[in-house]
Amino acid sequence: MVESGLFPWNNGKFPGMTEPSKGYRGVLIYETFGDFAFTMKCRREGLRVHGPTLSPFNAFLLLQGVETLHLRLEGHCANALAVARHLQSHPGVAWVNYPALQGNRYYDLGQKYLPKGAGGVLTFGIRGGAEA
């Protein structure tokens, strides 16, 4: 958020900025903080309602993670499908459950609801059970 501090919050149209704040022992936001009253109101009330804010570096890292999620998820899906195919052909594996694997009972639903990939989680069973 960027604020220039030039907006006239005391023009009578914004009582939340000029009347005592019930949440902060009657503090008058505009009178107390002046040019950066809006920033302080957002921070104070935002912290009270939503919790602490991220540091700038942590916000950057979170944004990087969100912006690259689609790339990483494509890799997870491709790797899971490759592992599922390998396990399906392995002689020591009794069954593999992965919706993107052809022949799986959920394959059609996977194609319908998960057209870009079925995620990175799969299950399989070993021939001979736990003893094997």
> What tens digit of pLDDT does each residue of 6-17 get?
898 999 999 989
The answer as to CATH 3.40.630.30 being correct for domain 69-131 is: no
Please provide the size of the chain in residues.
Answer: 132
Mean of pLDDT over the chain: 90
> What tens digit of pLDDT does each residue of 46-83 get?
777 777 778 899 999 999 999 999 999 999 999 999 99
Residue identified by tokens 């009582």 is 15
Average pLDDT estimate for 110-114: 95
In this prediction the pTM is 0.56
Give the separation between CA 21 and CA 120, rounded to whole angstroms. 49
The ranges of the chain annotated as CATH 3.90.1150.10 are 69-131
